[in-house]
Amino acid sequence: MNKRERIDAEMKPDAGKFLRGKKNSITDIKGVKVGHLTVNKDIKNESKEKILIRTGLTAVLPYQMEKEMRLFTGIFILRGKNEITGYEVTDDFCYLNSPIVITNSFNVGRAYNAILSYGFSLNRAEIWPPFVISVNDSYLNDMRKSFLDEKGVMNVFQNASNSKVEEGSIGIGLGLRAFGWKGGIGTSSRILYLGNKQFTLGVLVASNYGNHKPLEKSETESNSTESGDGSLVIIVGVDISLVPYQIKQITSSLVASLSPVSILKNCSDSITCVLFSTANPMSMEKEGPLSYDFQLIDDSLLENITLAGSEAIKEAIFNSLLKAAPVQGKLGRKIETIPENKFNKLLNEFGGIA
């Protein structure tokens, strides 16, 4: 077996409390799609100086965007450093009707405009506020040049798929690093039963953090100026009937579930957790008050949702490391895939999956 197969054998479904979904991906949730745009270019500027572009964009479409509707959503941010467009509206009104886009800080405006143009192309009355989360990929990516444009971003939305999500050094994951090794995009899902009914929880992460304490890396590199802007972005989708106060409780609990990990203690990196529910959609297709079939689960079931989410987040982080191909970027910096022995050490720091 190769390394990935050996590790999968250690992380079989009965290692945790919950079974994985069929695709072990956020796209196990009906209606959810994911798209990537990867920009991997070497160019020369007017002074013949070499510029290495290692960036991209990853988008999660939470439902069929042609429909005029909103989903209940909540956000929890720990040590917020990332720019997040639409945060105030989403946090106040607890709804989402936009794709969720993760890209680097210099491309937030382009993604924002592309979401609006995408909504106009669908003849939607409202696709606002655009929801864009920034990450800092400047350690590997030269941010002086950008190859993202509105048309390219709209193509990501139009070609997003509900198939198994590609992971690792793809989309915004191309320029990311975590724990001193190559980070990137990871995904996972869990099946859970609440009141004798089956539900699905899916996670997508962009891991770009933990570099304040790289695993046995040099002190010089760990003190580099780019190390202070690390972040972990967590997107969680569920098909469970949740209302805003329950969603906010779960998002904060999910972030708290990562805090015992010793490598995150005294960390200045930020963690952003966004959770949306595809149940209880609010239709906006008719004039007048919003309409939806309101359902509510008992608060006693929230703990199981949090446990399933914690498992899925941890595995998604592991997948983002294991699936990431090595990348050489600006200033000759090269970030390797985490070796198996170092991964096992990190696995122990997380206490396994469960």
pLDDT for res 112: 96
Instruction: For residue 117, give the H/E element and its range.
Output: helix 108-121
In this predicted structure, the answer to whether residue 202 has a pLDDT above a threshold of 80 is yes
Q: What is the mean pLDDT of the chain?
A: 87
Structural domain includes residue 352: no
Q: Which residues contact 292 (CB under 8 A, 6 or more apart)?
A: 280, 281, 282, 283
CA dist 125 and 299 (Å) reads: 35
For residue 307, give the amino acid letter.
L
Structural domain includes residue 192: yes
In this predicted structure, the answer to whether residue 11 has a pLDDT above a threshold of 60 is no
Structural domains in the chain (count)? 1
CA angle 299, 302, 306 (to 5 degrees): 165
Q: Which residues contact 89 (CB under 8 A, 6 or more apart)?
A: 129
In this predicted structure, the answer to whether residue 74 has a pLDDT above a threshold of 90 is yes
pLDDT for res 290: 55
CA dist 58 and 69 (Å) reads: 22
Of residues 313, 254, 297, the one with CA closest to residue 76: 254
Structural domain includes residue 351: no
Give me the mean pLDDT over the 271-296 stretch.
79
pLDDT for res 293: 62
pLDDT for res 225: 35
Extended beta strands in 116-229, E state: 131-135, 177-178, 181-182, 184-194, 197-208
Domain limits for position 289: 14-342
HSE of 244, CA atoms in CB hemisphere, 13 A = 12
In this predicted structure, the answer to whether residue 158 has a pLDDT above a threshold of 50 is yes
Instruction: For residue 305, give the H/E element and its range.
Output: helix 302-322
pLDDT for res 296: 83
Structural domain includes residue 348: no
Q: Which residues contact 125 (CB under 8 A, 6 or more apart)?
A: 68, 284
Structural domain includes residue 347: no
Note whether 143 and 54 are within 8 A (CB).
Answer: no
Q: Where residue 147 falls among pLDDT bands split at 50, 70, 90?
A: confident
Structural domain includes residue 8: no
Choose between 191 and 220: higher pLDDT. 191
Q: Where residue 287 falls among pLDDT bands split at 50, 70, 90?
A: low
Structural domain includes residue 305: yes
In this predicted structure, the answer to whether residue 263 has a pLDDT above a threshold of 60 is no
CATH of residue 218: 3.60.70.12
Give the tens place of pLDDT for each residue, 12-26.
Answer: 434 468 999 999 999
pLDDT for res 222: 41
In this predicted structure, the answer to whether residue 289 has a pLDDT above a threshold of 60 is no
Q: What is the pTM of this model?
A: 0.90
pLDDT for res 223: 37
> How many other CB atoms are found less than 10 A from the CB of residue 284?
18
Structural domain includes residue 44: yes
Give the tens place of pLDDT for each residue, 42-67.
Answer: 998 878 888 999 999 999 999 999 99
